[in-house]
Amino acid sequence: MNRGDRNLSVSSHLTPDPEKRLGRMLAGIENHRRTADFRLAVMSVVCAVELIPAALAGGTAGGVAGVLLCAALAASAAGLSPFAEFAGKSGVFGETAGKPPDNYLVNEQDIVKYSHSELVDFLDRYLGGGVSATPYYEDIVSRVSSVSLITLRKRRILAAAFGVFLTAQVFTAAAVLSAF
């Protein structure tokens, strides 16, 4: 009996196309990053526009609202800067270094828990095998890891900026109402 599949690797039968599945995972995470960038840009524009009524209203509430809006604008602008895309784990943005990884991948917060080698091993099991047989899999997994970290960072900056923005809205409303 002549078998023509002797040249296949051991894991080539497990997953039909692990490179395509890794590519889809990376594309999904990069889409989340672009969405976070868009939201940060919108937050920056809204904060800049909201500064006008806060400045016109004046008073203590208007001043506090102006300071808070400037802080939210600075935070959202910082989220858009290339410094937010620094790939190293800083701990400043609440990265989860040192926490034990879970046994599933749902979002960027779960991916960031893994070291590079743990992520390669886990993705090999998660995607059904064949990841380590994929050409350039180390590069793709590194990109998945770094884009996940960047996306998580941007989302946390956005959440902080939005919290400050909401607080500023209270003071802006008080300043506008006191002007009437």
Task: Give the CA radius of gyration of the chain.
Answer: 23
* Structure confidence at residue 104 (pLDDT): 55
d(CA 25, CA 110): 13
Sequence spans of domains, the chain: 18-179
pLDDT tens track for 49-99: 988 888 887 788 888 988 999 999 999 998 888 776 665 555 545 555 555
* Between 33 and 136, residue with greater pLDDT: 33
Half-sphere exposure of 141 (CA within 13 A, CB side): 22
d(CA 162, CA 180): 27
* Structure confidence at residue 4 (pLDDT): 47
* Structure confidence at residue 62 (pLDDT): 83
Q: DSSP of 82-130, one letter per residue?
A: GGGG--S--STT---TTSPP-S---SHHHHTTS-HHHHHHHHHHHTTS-
pLDDT for 8 beyond 50: no
| Alpha carbon separation from 27 to 1, 17, 119, 143, 166 (Å, rounded) | 43, 16, 17, 10, 32
* Structure confidence at residue 146 (pLDDT): 84
pLDDT for 43 beyond 90: yes
Q: What is the mean pLDDT of the chain?
A: 77
* Structure confidence at residue 70 (pLDDT): 93
Q: Give the angle 39-42-46 at the CA atoms, nearest 5°.
A: 135
Residue 79 corresponds to which tokens in the numbers above?
Answer: 């989220």
pLDDT tens track for 104-118: 566 677 788 777 778
Lowest mean pLDDT: which of 35-39, 69-73, 110-114, 123-127? 123-127
Mean pLDDT of 30-55: 91
d(CA 15, CA 26): 17
Q: Tell me the whole-structure pTM to 2 decimals.
A: 0.73
